[in-house]
Structure 1
Amino acid sequence: MEGEIHTLGTRIWGSGPFHALPVVSQKDLVKTTSGAPWTWSLTLALTLAVTGSWINLVEAVEVEKIDLQELYGWKTLDYAWPSKESRDVALARGDYIPINNIIVGIKVWEDRLFISLPRWQPGVPSTLNWVSYNFSEGFAGPPLSPSLNPFPSWEMQEIGNCSAIQFVQSMEIDPLGRMWVLDAGRRNFFTNTPDTHCPPRLVLLDVKQDNRVLHTFVFPDNVVSHTLGFLNDLVVDVSGGGDGSDWYAYISDSGVLPDSGGGIVVYHLGTDRAWRVYDKASMNVETGAASEAVIGGKMTVLRSNVDGIGLASLADGTDRVFYAPLGSFNLYSLPTSLLRNPPADPSEVTRAVVNLGRRTSQGDGMAVDSTGAIYFGLLNQDGFARWPREARITEGNPSNAEVLAVDPVRLQWVNSFSFDNINKYQIVLSDRVQMLQGYNPNEVNFRVFRHKINARSYMYPD
């Protein structure tokens, strides 16, 4: 059969195994071979589609308008195990499968970099971790490759224990030192046998003092589907001030509900309640050219609903949420006042959506700094861009955003952003997600960079 589809997402029904994708360099010509016929029903996440046609990869040009310091670089990921014997046992049992461990989320708090690893597949012993973050101002390398320390403990990583953390895609750390952790609950949904017996939750952890669990909220099934939900990313609205009890989280759910598809989930800490706001046109994957891109030399079909999310800065009154599906060029926004008090009529949500315009590429990670600048990845350009607040207000076109860096090797799939709020750096993760199930363990696959922006996170005054 000419061409084959490699699907990394929720498998509802079908036949045939997953196949590893070939590893190629930037100058390779990529062509697929035949594969077993598959029948799929797709609901979310990533579909890597290799079409069977030749992709001629021209010599790419590197662009770096900033001093991009590479802090960490891992070929494969390993852990600070309690003992060598525990690692050997995990390998023998399949509890640790190195090739299935990838980084998708990062956050900095003081002297620690927190790292999330999705349990899309088996063999991920710890889904939330940390490494030491302590670099001089003029750090010039070489990049570090430290072992990962489970956070808050090994015990809290226990697979199948619904009181422990099951699957972290992303997290945020507020100015009070509380980590807001998205625990998707279900695991192994890129396999034939997904495990859905643990519900999706929001877990608050104390990273400032003793790493203890401060609060846990279980999302109702009518807000986040316990079988089809995919809690992807979040921002925290701190405009309520005070002790943080009146703060909100706005969460992108790339999964589906039968009547809406993807949506934005709102959680209010003060009342311990959550609800869902959706708009089918702007929060679901588009068809056509927007749903595919060549990333690091691979033709990649992007079938994921609302994904990247950002919040207007505190200086702007946190008045708007920005968002985009993975499979979309467009960047959208909604007023936070509507998200906090959603109308009964969904058409009112649709009328409130603002299409801010078309980006030059689809993107995954998104972030806003304290000046109101929006940062987003450029998947088909192997880089990332900055759209300043002034340009957004005066020009209103994200296609004119400044491309900060392009690197066809080091910036394949920019997935996550964070901020060093003490030293005013932005932190950037690239992770080659398009190579999932085909990582080359002899190459550096996961990189964390920083660059000086003289600004902090959207949650802080400029």
Structure 2
Amino acid sequence: MCFHTTIIMKEISLLFIAITIIKLACCENIVEIFHWKQLSHQKHFLEDAGDITFDEENSTTGPNESFVSYVNIPMGITHHKGRLFITIPRRNPGVPATLNVVDVSGFPNGDMSPSLKAYPDYITNQLHTDYHADPKRIVSVYRSKVDVCDRLWFVDTGRLEYANNSMQIQRPHLWIIDLLQDRKVRTFEIPESIVQFGDGMASLAVDVEAGSCDKAFAYIPDLVQAAIYVYSFETDRMWAFKHPSFQQNPDRANFHVAGFRFVWDDGIFSIALGKRDMLTHSRPVYYHPMVSTTEFTTNSETLQNESLANSGDYESFFQALGDRGPNTQSTMHYYDPETEVIFYSQVNRNSIGCWYTRNNFTAEEHDIVYLDHQHLVYPGDLNADVDGNIWILANNLPTWLYSKLDENKYNFHVWRMNPREAIVGTKCQN
């Protein structure tokens, strides 16, 4: 018994040393920008919120709901020119704003736990007393994206996912906002012919080139319906693809995060856009279900073909790329055009992984650029800003779902990472 215990202790020590080496190699290349024990909002609504008041002790999100700090769980972050947009889906009553913003310009000398401000304002985020539909209001947002044309894209699911009172308040909408003027460019109501409910649209990718802003496409994965919805800005139309590779893999349904074991069934979760071919203007499209360790691929030419989508004859256009290996289930991922590396969150490992796209897609060719079992628990979002910096959000979601967060500790963390520096010393260095 003592002999085996000694061996186990040595293995644990070696593992700790290995983890420490990983962290030390990366700690200068990834910087913690913000952290919160619990989220808070500005103490007063903006002037255009009428006579609705807001304070930490006796606050309201409108005439029908009270602010509850604990249920405000950040799910997505997007950075644009000194502002960080934070999304909080309405999964419980008590969320004053599903789309929020904080100022990053004060880092590193500013407040590392700043109060949130509703974006574009509180009125747009406010629910009506009787929960009636209002296309001018935003109900619930999971994640957002900023494009090279300085526009913020997101899907309002239109759905309240309250445990005892889930309801589809209004049709899901795709929103596009001009961030230079803080004005809505367009909303597109996603028709019932595409999808009935909006709760499966937890992310999106935007395909556009600078100088051709009107020719943008949005690719929206639906993790519930196992589908990709494609929106053309130019034609203001949407179509859908469905394929077996969009579905979950039951063999990869077991998760072990923060001491909790659970089984999930999320299908296609994230879409990353590869390097564009300058001749064909097509680009590879990488995607994966969350409940899977397999990466799949298609191309933008396929997704942008509405006729092909309507024909249903596209089975061969979606193919498996390879497997990342055990315990590599991932939420979001991003292709960095400078390094040609895909970075992805590993929720089972509390880490950020990488793969150099010129290498074979095998487990042996993947590596970890950062790992932290304390401050990177459930990295639920990962994307890049227009300057190429990668932003990561870890939110301790499994603890919140299956136990209770310690409100005396920092539970939510926002990181910034330089891709070129992050891959130094890894298999992804090129």
Normalising by the residue count of structure 1, what TM-score does the alignment of the two structures yield?
Answer: 0.77
The alpha-carbon distance between structure 1 residues 255 and 322, as it changes in their structure 2 partners (threshold 3 A), is same
- Alignment counterpart, residue 211 of structure 2, candidates 239, 242, 256: 242
Q: Runs in 1 of length 4+ with deviation above 4 angstroms?
A: 57-60, 91-94, 314-318
1:454 Cα deviation (Å)? 4.6
Structure with greater proportional helix content: 2
User: Is the 8 Å Cα contact of residues 90 and 162 (structure 2) preserved in structure 1?
Assistant: no
Q: CA RMSD in A?
A: 2.5
User: Is the 8 Å Cα contact of residues 205 and 212 (structure 1) preserved in structure 2?
Assistant: yes
Give the residue type in structure 2 aligned to 1:285: Q
1:398 Cα deviation (Å)? 5.2
Gaps of 5+ in 1: 1-56, 257-261, 456-462
Taking the aligned partners of 1:222 and 1:229, their CA distance within structure 2 comes to 16
Give the residue type in structure 2 aligned to 1:235: A
2:416 matched residue in structure 1: 450
1:344 Cα deviation (Å)? 4.3
Give the residue type in structure 2 aligned to 1:307: F
The alpha-carbon distance between structure 1 residues 94 and 441, as it changes in their structure 2 partners (threshold 3 A), is farther
Give the residue type in structure 2 aligned to 1:170: R
Superimposed CA distance per residue, residues 113-153 of structure 1 (whole angstroms, 9 cap, x where no aligned partner): 111111122111101111111266xx5x8970000011000
User: Is the 8 Å Cα contact of residues 377 and 415 (structure 1) preserved in structure 2?
Assistant: yes
1:194 matched residue in structure 2: 166
1:314 Cα deviation (Å)? 4.2
The alpha-carbon distance between structure 1 residues 252 and 107, as it changes in their structure 2 partners (threshold 3 A), is same
1:294 Cα deviation (Å)? 0.7
1:402 Cα deviation (Å)? 1.9
Superimposed CA distance per residue, residues 280-305 of structure 1 (whole angstroms, 9 cap, x where no aligned partner): 2x1111113x0011112111212111
Taking the aligned partners of 2:315 and 2:342, their CA distance within structure 1 comes to 23
2:372 matched residue in structure 1: 407
1:302 matched residue in structure 2: 264
User: Is the 8 Å Cα contact of residues 75 and 143 (structure 2) preserved in structure 1?
Assistant: yes
2:347 matched residue in structure 1: 379
1:242 Cα deviation (Å)? 3.4
Higher relative contact order (CA 8 A, sep 6+): 1
1:396 Cα deviation (Å)? 2.6
1:334 and 2:298 are equivalent in the alignment: yes
The alpha-carbon distance between structure 1 residues 82 and 171, as it changes in their structure 2 partners (threshold 3 A), is same
Map residues 63-212 of structure 1 onto 2, 5 A cutoff. 63-64=22-23, 65-66=25-26, 67=28, 68-82=30-44, 86-87=54-55, 88-90=58-60, 94-134=65-105, 139=108, 144-159=112-127, 160=131, 161-187=134-160, 189-209=161-181, 211-212=182-183
Taking the aligned partners of 2:383 and 2:199, their CA distance within structure 1 comes to 24
Partner-residue secondary structure (3-state), 2:358: helix
User: Is the 8 Å Cα contact of residues 73 and 143 (structure 1) preserved in structure 2?
Assistant: no
Taking the aligned partners of 1:355 and 1:301, their CA distance within structure 2 comes to 23
Partner-residue secondary structure (3-state), 1:381: coil
The alpha-carbon distance between structure 1 residues 343 and 230, as it changes in their structure 2 partners (threshold 3 A), is closer
Taking the aligned partners of 1:315 and 1:296, their CA distance within structure 2 comes to 42
Partner-residue secondary structure (3-state), 2:373: coil
Aligned residues: 380
Give the residue type in structure 2 aligned to 1:244: C
Superimposed CA distance per residue, residues 183-230 of structure 1 (whole angstroms, 9 cap, x where no aligned partner): 11111x251211212110001111112x1111010001121223x642
1:444 Cα deviation (Å)? 1.1
Partner-residue secondary structure (3-state), 2:202: strand
Taking the aligned partners of 1:428 and 1:399, their CA distance within structure 2 comes to 24
Taking the aligned partners of 2:304 and 2:105, their CA distance within structure 1 comes to 38
User: Is the 8 Å Cα contact of residues 345 and 382 (structure 2) preserved in structure 1?
Assistant: no
Give the residue type in structure 1 aligned to 2:332: G
Give the residue type in structure 2 aligned to 1:193: N
The alpha-carbon distance between structure 1 residues 93 and 112, as it changes in their structure 2 partners (threshold 3 A), is same
2:391 matched residue in structure 1: 427
Partner-residue secondary structure (3-state), 1:435: helix
